[in-house]
Structure 1
Amino acid sequence: MGRILIKNATIVNENKIFPGDVLLEDDIILKIDDSIPSDQATRVIDVAGKYLIPGVIDDQVHFREPGLTHKGNIATESRAAVAGGITTYMEQPNTNPQTTTIDALEAKFEVARGASFANYSFLFGGTNDNLEELKKLDKNACSGVKLFLGSSTGNMLVDNEEVIEKIFRNTEMVISAHCEDEATIRANMAAYKERYGDDIPINCHPMIRSEEACYLSSSRAIALAKKTGARLHVFHVSTGKETQLFRNDIPLEEKKITAEVCIHHLWFSEEDYESKGTLIKWNPAVKTATDREQLWQALLDDRIDVVATDHAPHTIEEKNNPYTAAPSGGPLVQHALPAMLENYHSGKIALERIVEKMCHNPAKLFQIKKRGFIREGYYADLAIVDLQDPWRVTKDNIAYKCGWSPFEGSSFKSRITHTFVNGHLAYENGQFSEERKAMRLTFNR
């Protein structure tokens, strides 16, 4: 790949914003300095007026391969991720077949090795009956273990309390958990089905997958993590009440229990169901505007550590089904960073904090080797952002295989202009390189 010199950048990194040049050599950041001279063998990219950030690390995506590739696949969705400044992702196990054996895990890695545009790892799915297989999993083999403590797409529900405790006691890896209480959801669903049949109004979704269901499950998982000493990461916190369960009085590196919030829970509220319908049907559900504000407060005061997408595409035909048949989830990787930058423009969050929550903290939390920061000797995963280049989300510029976005029709003030993956310019001003230089993640554990 040779040398690339990024000139005249405004660098956002490690709680600082400063001008500088960054020299890339092959897949590594070779030098960071105020001014770096170029030579004839170096390609120069002048980004004056633009901001250089580490590539975003998304700790929760569903790219639908294998088995669900009519919705998306590793190639299409990682390509869309790169367009959104995401250079690394961690994909979830609820595919078909499910990623619940070491053989299935390695088969996914083999697909990604040839197909992925962004760096990759996968979560190994815990079930009611694969504890022995999980015990064989090397702690550096993948990003971690995923437990569905509430059912969702693919139905990998783990509901055997004895097994859950054994999983907590038998892995050193981060256990990432989807926390919703299944008994509460089933009782709520039965009541609403009795009233409405299958065509339940979409605005009932946050009452079915309720605050109570989320809090019961999250609090139970956290109590078990404290009891067993397990390393627990609670995915997609959706209620203000749950934020009270997390600490902000110690550094992230010392936390045994951490939390993630997703873009859709920071952006939408129950007021949006009327206009967006099942396009914003997620599990856990988008809830009230008050919940949204409390999630923001927890993000800003460090009770919530990471911002992710839970990117989960479905076809528009599937989403347009009646409530009980419409699947939960939506595509987000291309638009997550522009959406967060809107909140910078409105004064809600600083650029340094966006970088912390979307780049630095996922790298720290999962102990990813040489990624998530702009540092000499680190892999050259970088995104260049123009904060003053407005654009509108339309079908013509949506990169997802499913062809739609919950942000369709929205306008963003900021645009990702370049994305580097391991020093390779994977995306530039709306154009993709078809070369793939992505790598399997490695870890410092």
Structure 2
Amino acid sequence: MNSVLIKNANIVNEGTIFKGDIYIENGIFKEIASHISAKSDHVQIIDAEGKYLIPGVIDDQVHFREPGLTHKANIATESKAAVAGGITSFIEMPNTVPQTTTIEKLEEKFEIAAKTSYANYSFMFGGTNDNLEEIRKVDKKNVAGLKLFLGSSTGNMLVDNPEVLEKIFASTDLLISVHCEDEQTIRDNTKKYKEQYGEDIPIELHPIIRSEEACYLSSSKAIELAKKTGARLHVFHLSTAKETDLFTNKIPLKEKKITAEVCIHHLWFSDADYKEKGTLIKWNPAVKTSKDREALFEALLDDRLDVIATDHAPHTAEEKDNVYTKAPSGGPLVQHALTAMLEFYHQGKISLEKIVEKMCHNPAILFQVHKRGYIKEGYFADAVLVDLNDPWTVTKDNILYKCGWSPFEETTFKSRITHTFVNGGLVYENSRFYDVKLAQRLTFDR
């Protein structure tokens, strides 16, 4: 592998920004200093004058749809889009077809990723009402964690047996990530509005059907159970102001047993956007009010919420272009997540240092990812160069998702990802991909 010398970068890392050089050798950050000279004529030199260098983003929640749903997406297409968006590592969810609820199916996904992924990868193992013995076989050093759907599941992945749920919480020391929405509340609300509107329920009622009450009831129960059993719990995609009060900023992240994330779409959109975007912004949990959005941002900044993720979950345009009850929930986000957060930086809502903390450092801490998420000597050289002043507009022509659409279409971002390095290799540069796949399976210091 060629050595790389990045010169004159504004390096954003561990709460500081400093100008300096980075020398990468054999896929590792070898030296970080104010000035570094090339070691030989074979070093690739990149002048980053005026640009910002951040650690590669770690996205702890994506759905890349492989196997079984590859008409929507696959690991190759979506990891490529992720790399273009500055995401160098991802953790993918188990609700594929077949579901990732046995060790055999888990390893099959690892084999696919080893051959096709552009970004570093790991997978969540899925829990069900009847696979506790399989859960006990999972190697916590080589698998990201356990995913439980406490609402909004596919197939048989809704874990709705309280006795089973408590037994899982008490029987594993895997990190447990949960989707929290109370299924009975949602069923009752759906029935009510179907009686009124039939199948064509107005999309504006989505956050009323998948309500604040449904979210809070489920997440508070999960937290209560985690406290009772001592389980390590991570609550995915918070969407309500009320839920933010369930989490603390009184202790460092490394010491927290109960953590939470917020997703890009819950920070960007509100219920006012349903009129224009329709089912394109139909997600579970639902995008809610502007007050919820403001409270989520506040909790992110004051460290009650620990991680920013995407919940990237593509569907085809044809699938989304349906009446409410038939349009699936989810949308593609990995290509545009970092640039969206940088837009908030330009608006004065968040610092570059905080973005890096929530998208790079904290996922690495929370999942105990081995030697990633930081620009540190001895760490894997996953890194992203950003030009904060190179505007571009999202159009059909530059969308890389297999589904071919984005909820950000026609949005102009002020910042652009110019270079992405994965394990020390330059895999993306100014809209061009190099024909190399340097991705590795993530491992965990547990």
TM-score when scaled to structure 2?
A: 0.99
Read off the aligned partner of 1:33 and give its amino acid letter. Answer: A
Matched, 1:317 2:299: no
Compute the displacement of 1:151 (Å).
Answer: 1.8
Q: Distance in 2 between matches of 1:129 and 1:155?
A: 10
Q: Secondary structure, in 3 states, of the residue corresponding to 2:136?
A: helix
1:35 maps to which residue?
Answer: 35
1:7-406 matches, cutoff 5 A? 7-38=7-38, 39-154=40-155, 156-406=157-407
Q: Distance in 2 between matches of 1:154 and 1:420?
A: 37
Native 8 Å contact 2:128 2:156 kept in 1: no
CA distances 1:361-380 after superposition (whole Å, capped 9, x unpaired): 00000000000000000000
Q: Give percent identity, aligned residues only.
A: 72
Compute the displacement of 1:154 (Å).
Answer: 4.9
Native 8 Å contact 1:153 1:328 kept in 2: no
How many residues align? The count is 445
Q: Distance in 2 between matches of 1:334 and 1:308?
A: 12
Q: Distance in 2 between matches of 1:154 and 1:243?
A: 30
CA distances 1:161-183 after superposition (whole Å, capped 9, x unpaired): 11110110111111000000000
Q: Distance in 1 between matches of 2:155 and 2:62?
A: 14
Read off the aligned partner of 2:6 and give its amino acid letter. Answer: I
Q: Distance in 2 between matches of 1:434 and 1:441?
A: 21
Q: Distance in 2 between matches of 1:104 and 1:383?
A: 32
Q: Secondary structure, in 3 states, of the residue corresponding to 1:279?
A: helix
Native 8 Å contact 1:153 1:327 kept in 2: no
Q: Distance in 1 between matches of 2:37 and 2:277?
A: 51
1:437 maps to which residue?
Answer: 438
Q: Secondary structure, in 3 states, of the residue corresponding to 2:114?
A: helix
Read off the aligned partner of 1:255 and give its amino acid letter. Answer: K
Q: Distance in 2 between matches of 1:245 and 1:350?
A: 25
CA distances 1:96-117 after superposition (whole Å, capped 9, x unpaired): 0000000000000000000000
Compute the displacement of 1:184 (Å).
Answer: 0.2
Compute the displacement of 1:88 (Å).
Answer: 0.1
TM-score when scaled to structure 1?
A: 0.99
1:415 maps to which residue?
Answer: 416
Compute the displacement of 1:434 (Å).
Answer: 2.3
Compute the displacement of 1:355 (Å).
Answer: 0.1
CA distances 1:11-56 after superposition (whole Å, capped 9, x unpaired): 0000000000000012111100000001312110001000000000
Native 8 Å contact 1:5 1:43 kept in 2: yes
Read off the aligned partner of 1:135 and give its amino acid letter. Answer: R
Q: Secondary structure, in 3 states, of the residue corresponding to 1:418?
A: strand
Q: Distance in 1 between matches of 2:98 and 2:309?
A: 24
CA distances 1:102-135 after superposition (whole Å, capped 9, x unpaired): 0000000000000000000000000001001101
Read off the aligned partner of 2:428 and give its amino acid letter. Answer: Y
Native 8 Å contact 1:95 1:154 kept in 2: no
Compute the displacement of 1:141 (Å).
Answer: 2.6
Read off the aligned partner of 1:24 and give its amino acid letter. Answer: I
Q: Secondary structure, in 3 states, of the residue corresponding to 2:174?
A: coil
Q: Distance in 2 between matches of 1:19 and 1:355?
A: 16
Q: Distance in 2 between matches of 1:205 and 1:74?
A: 29
Q: Distance in 1 between matches of 2:85 and 2:139?
A: 32
1:4 maps to which residue?
Answer: 4
Compute the displacement of 1:2 (Å).
Answer: 1.9
CA distances 1:232-290 after superposition (whole Å, capped 9, x unpaired): 00000000000000010000000000000000000000000000000000000000000
Q: Distance in 1 between matches of 2:34 and 2:80?
A: 32
Q: Distance in 1 between matches of 2:25 and 2:440?
A: 16
Q: Secondary structure, in 3 states, of the residue corresponding to 1:136?
A: coil
Q: Distance in 2 between matches of 1:191 and 1:98?
A: 31
Q: Distance in 2 between matches of 1:2 and 1:378?
A: 17
Compute the displacement of 1:204 (Å).
Answer: 0.4
Native 8 Å contact 2:142 2:442 kept in 1: no
Read off the aligned partner of 1:354 and give its amino acid letter. Answer: I
Q: Distance in 2 between matches of 1:276 and 1:343?
A: 20
Q: Distance in 1 between matches of 2:142 and 2:344?
A: 36
Native 8 Å contact 2:84 2:420 kept in 1: yes
